[in-house]
Amino acid sequence: MEMTQDKSNATVSAWMRDQTPEDIYKAPLEIAWTFDYFMSGDKVEDLYKRAKQDQWNSDELLPWDMDVDPSKPLINDESDIFHRMPFFKKLSRSQQESFTAHSTAQLLSQFLHGEQGALMTAACVTHSVPDATAKLYAATQTMDEARHVEVFAKYCNKIAMVYPMSGWLKQLIDATLKSDRYEKIMIGMNMIVEGLALGAFNNMYRSTQCDLLKQLTFNVMRDESRHVSFGHAFLEPVIADLPEDEVEDLAEFAFQAVNILASAGTAGTIASRVDPGFMMVLENCNIDPDDFFAGLAEAEEMGITRELPPGQIHSLEHLMLPAIARVGLLTPHIRGKYEEAGIPLTEDPRILHAMEGGHPIAA
Ligand SMILES: [Fe+2]
Ligand SMILES: [Fe+2]
């Protein structure tokens, strides 16, 4: 592992300097003061109270001193396609170990970057939502997301390094941050990105063999379940009061955001030639990309698919679409667009409700 570590540290500093003009931009959101400081006495206030009680300090709570061997599977072998590929089994032992550590770090880096996006969207909601209780709640979410950035950065660096953000995820969060009203920020983050995260954290919690990662995801997931609940509890009555054309505008925004995700095909795998981070993983492990993608195609022909194993949560089907449906954003007009895009509509909220309880579950 030693040499790979040195090489990857050199690679990481090279991409980290590479901030582009697209990374700094103006947001069109309005700032809203409010002088009505009465608490709402409803579910949002309840979530605020829970958020205050459930704050945690990762320095005290998580066993950072624990020995984590990055070459041991951090995610259960059987639950990812790579470890089932015949190609993978032909690699040298050290390449297999490097690949396990680096591909996991690349996946977890996406959570890390997503958490930074969540930190900024929560701050946007804090300053633009006109309701006092929602403002206070959004401030707690901002602190939660800061903690999530901290723990994922620390874990990625512990096992390998931080990898660049995938293009589709940047596009999705930028579309959210560049939107012109707080309702869209909450749709993009509290319903879509956090639906994605909650499903992924739940699956990771269930499959990881690393105790540190298990405890980390458990605590992050408990925070995320509040964030998803907030999206519902606050937005449902707000949307119910909006004129029809504004509801359609929000429904269109939700559809576009889901479509970014659906066209990226991210549900099952992160391996892609268009993802510079994944190509960097192969380079850091001395794996030839042509050999790797030929191996992936061979595995797929043999029926080793990217489908999630039974019991795993499917974020789009089980969490995001039911969340969009229950706040009234699957309007008759927008349903046609989902159908045209080939995105099956699922509205059963049972798994979503269960996950809002803050505990890991099986589908
Ligand atoms: Fe988070
Ligand atoms: Fe969150």
37-80 pLDDT tens trace: 999 999 999 999 999 999 999 999 999 999 888 877 777 666 67
Rounded to the nearest angstrom, the distance between the alpha carbon of 216 and the centre of ligand 2 is 14
Q: Is 139 exposed, middle or buried (0-12, 13-18, 19+ CB in 10 A)?
A: middle
**291: enclosing H helix or E strand:** helix 289-301
Average pLDDT over residues 212-221: 95
Rounded average pLDDT over 226-244: 96
Separation between Cα atoms, residue 180 and residue 92, nearest integer Å: 51
* Cα of 119 from ligand 1 centre, angstroms: 7
Q: CA-CA distances (angstroms) from residue 223 to 33, 74, 160, 230?
A: 26, 22, 26, 11
Give the distance (Å) from ligand 1 centre to CA of residue 322.
20
Number of helical H runs and strand E runs in the chain: 17, 0
User: What's the rounded Cα separation, in Å, for the pair 125 and 139?
Assistant: 8
- How many angstroms is it from 207 CA to the middle of ligand 2? 21
Of the pLDDT bands very low, low, confident and very high (cuts 50, 70, 90), residue 6 is very low
Distance spanning both ends of the chain, measured CA to CA = 36
Using one digit for the tens of pLDDT, what is the confidence trace for 321-335? 999 999 999 999 999
Q: How far is the CA of 332 from the centre of ligand 2 (A)?
A: 30
Q: What is the pLDDT of residue 15?
A: 58
Mean pLDDT for the stretch of residues 182-196: 95
pLDDT for 309 equals: 58
**17 burial level (CB within 10 Å; 0-12, 13-18, 19+):** exposed
Chain-centre distance for alpha carbon 227: 12
What pLDDT sits at residue 7? 44
Closest CA to 359 of 226, 233, 263: 226
> What is the CA(32)–ligand 2 centre distance, in A?
22
Residue pair 134/178 in contact by the 8 Å Cβ criterion: no
Other Cβ atoms closer than 10 A to 26 = 6
Neighbours of ion ligand 2 (CB under 5 A): 118, 194, 224, 227
For residue 307, the model assigns a pLDDT of 61
Q: Taking a C-beta distance cutoff of 8 angstroms, is the pair 7, 281 a contact?
A: no
Question: Domains in the chain, please, with CATH?
Answer: 42-56+73-356 (1.20.1260.10)
